[in-house]
Amino acid sequence: MSDVSLPVAGGKSGGKPGRDWLWMLALLIGPLLAALALGGLILLAMGVNPLSYYAFVVERSILRPSGLEATLTRMGPLLLIAASLIVAFRAGIWNLGGDGQFLLAAVMVAAMTPLMHEAGMPVWLVLVTGLLTGAVIGAAWSVLPALLKAFQGINEIITTLMMSFLGVSFANVLVKLAFLDPATTTPQTRTLPVEARLPRLFDTTVSSGLLIGLVVVVLVHLMMTRTAFGMRLRVVGANPRAAVHAGLSVPKLTIAVFAISAALAGLSGAVDILGTQGNVRADWNPAYSLTVVPLVFLARLNGFGSIAYVFLFSALTIGGESAARRLGVPSFFSLVIVALLLITLGLAEYADKRRRARARQ
Amino acid sequence: MFTETFLITLFLGAVMAGMPLLLAGLGEQLSEKAGVLNIGLEGMILAGAYAGFLVAWTSGSSALGFLGGAGAGMIVASLMVVFCVILGLNQIVIGIALTLLVQGLTALLHFVQFSRSYPRLDGMQSWPVPGLSQIPVIGPMFFNHNPIVYLTVILVAVFAWIYRMTHLGSALQAAGDKPAALDAAGVDVIRTRALAVLTTGALAGLGGAFMSVAVAGVFIPFMSHGNGFIAIVLAMLARGRPLWVLGGALLFGASLSMTTALQVAGVNVPVDVIQMLPFAMVMLVLLVAGRKASLPAALGESFERGAR
Amino acid sequence: MQSPVGAAVSEPPATPGPVVALKGLTKRFPGVIANNNVSAQIFPGEVHVLLGENGAGKSTLVGMLSGLQQPDQGHIEIGGARVTVTSPRHALSLGIGTVFQHSMLVPSLSVVDNFTLGGTWWKRPDREGQAARIVETAARLGLRVDPFALVSTLSLGERQQVEILRALMRGSRCLILDEATAMLTPHEAVSLGELMRRLVAEGLAIIFITHKLNEALAYGDRISVLRLGKNAGEIGPQELRAQTDAGNTARIIALMFGAGSGSAAGEGAPRSGREPGPLVLEVAGLTAGAGRIPLQNATFSVHRGEILGLAGIDGNGQKELAEALSGQVPSAGSVRLNGREIGGMTVGGRRAAGLRYVTDDRLGEGTVGAFPVAVNFLLKEIGSTPFWQKGLEKPQAIRAQAEEHVKNFDIRTPGVQTPVGKLSGGNIQKVLLARELTGSAEAVIFAKPTYGLDVQNIRATRDRIREAAEAGKAVLLISTDLDELLELADRIAVIDRGRIRGIVDNDARARDAIGRLMSAGEEP
């Protein structure tokens, strides 16, 4: 029971004849290879051997144990963002405000949990409260766009972007004015001690945030594809008028989508703080949300596909950060690869559409 | 605290901070009128900022820098034209992709070229209008600016004139509202939209170059800092009226530059509090104005002849 | 800009050669031949009707004449010379002006700006001059047009007049009117007919495309019938005048539907007056202001086993009535189903109570085109057992039900997982019928159930409606096709501008009575 959506190609119709396997394979692998090749040209232009760069990135982010651990740890918050976006986009809501939701949640969690820990609360309680707080703060930051969309029909692209900028600034205000750590001179919140953070998995340094991320993405995927609630959301996303006709309460579902999506973005912030960062420095904004948007589109809003792409991206950034130190290629290069990938994928979708149109004639 | 210096500082700051918004907002307004939601605006500004700085620094001429910035914006816009206007791919996704691409590329290039030298351009000379600039208060506020500022204000009038008084204005309106009607009237919809998007790119690029060449004197990666998205909102709220973009850009610019002005007045308010103002303001406007923020009917849809 | 209408007058009224000639036009689309070797000659001073059902290939023909599409075979001759029409603009320069079914005016521009659209881009439109010419030409044709009005403020009829005016002022010698009366009120349609007569009197050629037989007879000088993309036959002016209306009608029906299918057009015997069952659906004072046409104080009732028809020109509140009844828009007044008040319930509550609504907007709101057929059967029952249990989907149950529906309703689909948007209109309608007619249906609203379907699917759908009534359901049949109502309904209500003007029994005098009710509302 799946509806193949082609979000990049902008077409509403789905479904594939699926007879030409070679073509399908080319569609899946081709864009990736093309993007890496284009990225390679850029590296060449910078005077870096692309092959050794890619080899270095793979070695540092996947083959070397510490690199792989870093890659996997970084995936946690990114997966939660991906889950947040999948819910929203599948329901036809453009929640582009994930960055504000993420950061505000992160700041609140970073402000609260060290104090709770100092007050002697048990670690598990601190962590659970922290995660819940993150989700609630994230959801709260989407209330205004949700209401405006549900009852006034105001384009959520504008409102979520505005709330995102507002949230990022507000988070900075909070860090600098309200939650400043009195013990240091650098403007940042108090730091959650390592022993009070999310537990590590087995004997590795991988944060259990990864586990949370994986579980949530899979749950969200199953919710959207296998449950009645997910079906309602998809109907609203695919054809809001059909939803009204079928008696679905579009405003209520819209608000639910915003709440879930933003709560997951907030949860991502909490996981990043509780698992990796421990505190929030002033002016810190990793801007995960806008970076993950292309990834979930590359995965065609599929949860499992998103895990693959998030892994790829995570490895690229971790490897890229090492490469920045060793090969002098800044880590921004991973942004370039993602953007190129999205564009080559869009072109592949277009080629596919044209091919099918020709086949029909 | 509302002394003469305070007001003048605030106003000049508003002009400097508002100019990129105004240029990009005018451009976005043009695109939206023609039916293209240009989410890649942020990338175009950033490309303009980088190229503007690069050209100005290598040639030593800020005029050439502005040209270079506009050119770079147009190059990014031409990608938008190919992918969204001609091939009809999703405008939001491609817009975000282009923004990420430019962010990554400019940061890379900046790193390769300038990470060791950190060159800085000399501050730009303003062009005082003879006579008028001598008037107290009014003079320094309105008649002592960078030439780009005068040019942009003239552009506002030009756009207003184009929209209301020329065939082009009607054609743009039709491209966004009923592309099939424009096609039937013998005007190429794709070409009209492409023209709009390319112009948007040039204006956004110019805005970016203004940021790096005229205001900052340096290029800093990611320096466009959400200006593109604010400009998109400005354009949406202004609904086809260039003068509203001007007003909105000054208002946003004022709140962005409020900190400096307040410091001049001896009040110390954190930057971030002030930076929240414009966004809070937009949300307030949306809450009050509500439904009226309308958009062209065919916005975001690609055009294919004969398809309904 | 020249004044072609005036120029045309100076020509002799009976020019021998055709203005436009279609020579064996063939156009194929994936899977269908839309036009197969179609030929026709269009003469000046004549209204040439292209008559055919939906899907007979009329739109494609218009598309080729106006330059939107290119023929795969055959060609078009204008004034005896072979031409390739590349675009609507080119068509216009050749003297062919088209008024499409869907308005080709830019709503956010004024009338005058729509006229000047496409001028040299940096120049200033000559609004005053153009406005003066519009007013002058309009006056000569007996029309009234405010050149500075925003198009979005004009009625559909006014927009059409503006489009005709525009085509004429741009020098058209041949005017194509594509389904021009579909969106008009009866009064506006009559005005359009008069306008056409005045235009051909001035020497213009008009191609009038319609699927309505009575309009073809009322306005046409020459009638070409298209059937399944082919020429089915042509009746020239002499023949047309020589025969009575009844004779012409019979001839055209035979051409449109093939020999011996005269009954398909609705000449079947009206349903015999059976004993009405108990009241099922009682509507009193139903008022809804949300739509384009506010629904005012609708009161009627439908008995068990009865079909109540609702006649009226499209866009007179039918949609608003159906949506108010189904609960899709807020409304005031009373709706009772089997004596129970359901007027305050949600869409889902009303459905659960037994009220069903077969919408006419099958892809727009009736289905989700990208979703599988199987899911679309359940669109209004998401979460219900046995298809979902504790909110979890049960694919086997969903598939089993879908396969049963496909069999029972004879739905032609590659499989139950095929996206419903890929099916033909007739099969999508069957999906809707399967969804709405099974289960605990008590009262069913059909909105234009045969609109856009081919003959076979029209038959199948009408049979379903009849069966539903015979199975004891109360049926409200909304249709713009009077013949359909006369064939199926027991009683017929007439709606006009949001008000129900009266309800008549479907007997021998029904047609006249309905006509009177429909036109009575036109007087101020």
Q: At B65, list the tokens.
A: 């820098």
Contact between A17 and A293 under an 8 Å Cβ cutoff? The reply is no
Structural Rg of chain C based on CA atoms: 25
Are residues B186 and C107, on separate chains, in Cβ contact within 8 Å?
A: no
Closest Cα in chain B to A35: B101
Q: Which of B100, B275, B286 sits opposite A154 (nearest CB)?
A: B286
pLDDT of residue C1: 40
User: Measuring CA to CA, which residue among C223, C186, C229 is closest to residue C208?
Assistant: C223
CA distances from C435 to C65, C211, C380, C403, C439 (A): 41, 29, 8, 13, 9
3-state SS, A208-272, equals: CHHHHHHHHHHHHHHHHHHEHHHHHHHHHHHCHHHHHHCCCCHHHHHHHHHHHHHHHHHHHHHHH
Q: Which of B181, B305, B308 sits opposite C106 (nearest CB)?
A: B181
Is the CA virtual torsion A187, A193, A196, A201 positive or negative? positive
Judgement on whether residues C365 and C349 belong to the same structural domain of the protein: no
Cβ neighbour number for residue C136 with a 10 Å cutoff? 11
Q: Tokens 């001059």 belong to which residue?
A: C129
A165 at B interface, C-beta within 8 A: yes
* Residues within 8 A of B (CB atoms), A 244-273 only: none
Are residues C125 and B185, on separate chains, in Cβ contact within 8 Å?
A: no
What integer is the mean pLDDT of C138-155? Answer: 85
In a domain, C265, yes or no: no
pLDDT of residue A83: 97
CATH code assigned at C117: 3.40.50.300
Judgement on whether residues C108 and C225 belong to the same structural domain of the protein: yes
pLDDT in tens, B167-225: 999 999 999 888 888 887 878 899 999 999 999 999 999 999 999 998 888 898 888 88
- Give, in degrees to the nearest 5, the angle at Cα A148 between A145 and A149: 85
Lowest-confidence pick of A287-296, C401-410, C484-493: A287-296
Are residues C104 and B168, on separate chains, in Cβ contact within 8 Å?
A: no
* Chain centre to alpha carbon of residue B124: 20
Judgement on whether residues C148 and C296 belong to the same structural domain of the protein: no
* Chain centre to alpha carbon of residue C246: 24
Averaged pLDDT score across all residues of chain C: 84
How many CB pairs below 8 A link A and B?
Answer: 146
Cis peptide upstream of residue B242 (ω within 30 degrees of 0): no
Q: Which of C412, C439, C466 is the last residue of a domain?
A: C439
Does residue B229 register a pLDDT over 90? Answer: no
Q: Which residue has the higher pLDDT, A287 or C307?
A: C307
Are residues A1 and C30, on separate chains, in Cβ contact within 8 Å?
A: no
C69 at A interface, C-beta within 8 A: no
In a domain, C263, yes or no: no
- Give, in degrees to the nearest 5, the angle at Cα B210 between B206 and B216: 150
The pLDDT confidence band at residue C524, using thresholds 50, 70 and 90, is very low
pLDDT of residue B160: 94
Q: At A187, list the tokens.
A: 């403007």
Q: Which of B107, B270, B291 sits opposite A177 (nearest CB)?
A: B270
pLDDT of residue C340: 92
Are residues A226 and C370, on separate chains, in Cβ contact within 8 Å?
A: no
Q: Which of B56-60, B91-95, B283-287, C177-181 has the highest mean pLDDT?
A: B56-60
Q: Complex ipTM above 0.85?
A: no
* Residues within 8 A of A (CB atoms), C 362-421 only: 364-372, 374-375, 379-380, 382-383, 388, 391-393, 395, 398, 417-419, 421
pLDDT of residue C6: 40
Which residues from chain C sit within 8 angstroms of residue A17, using beta carbons?
A: none
Does residue B15 register a pLDDT over 70? Answer: yes
Lowest-confidence pick of B71-85, C29-43, C343-357: C29-43
* Chain centre to alpha carbon of residue A51: 28
Structural domain of C430: 361-439
Judgement on whether residues C175 and C251 belong to the same structural domain of the protein: yes
Judgement on whether residues C240 and C107 belong to the same structural domain of the protein: yes
Cα C173 to Cα C127: distance, rounded to the nearest angstrom = 25
Predicted TM-score (pTM) of the model is 0.82
Distance from CA of B180 to the nearest CA of A (A): 19
Judgement on whether residues C187 and C332 belong to the same structural domain of the protein: no
Question: Which chains, if any, share at least 3 CB pairs under 8 A with chain C?
Answer: A, B
Distance from CA of C396 to the nearest CA of A (A): 11
In a domain, C371, yes or no: yes
Mutate to test the interface with A, among C361, C379, C387 (most CBs of A within 10 A): C379
Judgement on whether residues C387 and C338 belong to the same structural domain of the protein: no
pLDDT in tens, A212-232: 999 999 999 999 999 999 999
pLDDT of residue B295: 56
pLDDT of residue A234: 94
In a domain, C460, yes or no: no
Q: Which of A4, A227, A361 sits opposite C392 (nearest CB)?
A: A227
Judgement on whether residues C365 and C338 belong to the same structural domain of the protein: no
Determine the residue type at C301: S
Q: Which of C88, C107, C123 sits opposite B167 (nearest CB)?
A: C123
Closest Cα in chain B to A171: B272
Determine the residue type at A153: G
Is the CA virtual torsion A333, A334, A339, A340 positive or negative? positive
Does residue C87 register a pLDDT over 70? Answer: yes
* Dihedral angle, C-alpha A69, A71, A77, A80, nearest 10 °: -100
Domain assignments of chain B as residue spans, ordered by start: 20-114+140-242
Judgement on whether residues C479 and C330 belong to the same structural domain of the protein: yes
Does residue A69 register a pLDDT over 60? Answer: yes
* Residues within 8 A of B (CB atoms), A 78-97 only: 94
Greatest pairwise CA separation for chain C in angstroms: 80
What is the total residue count of chain A?
361
Cα C141 to Cα C201: distance, rounded to the nearest angstrom = 11
Domain assignments of chain A as residue spans, ordered by start: 75-309
Mutate to test the interface with A, among B50, B81, B85, B108 (most CBs of A within 10 A): B108
In a domain, C458, yes or no: no
Judgement on whether residues C433 and C524 belong to the same structural domain of the protein: no
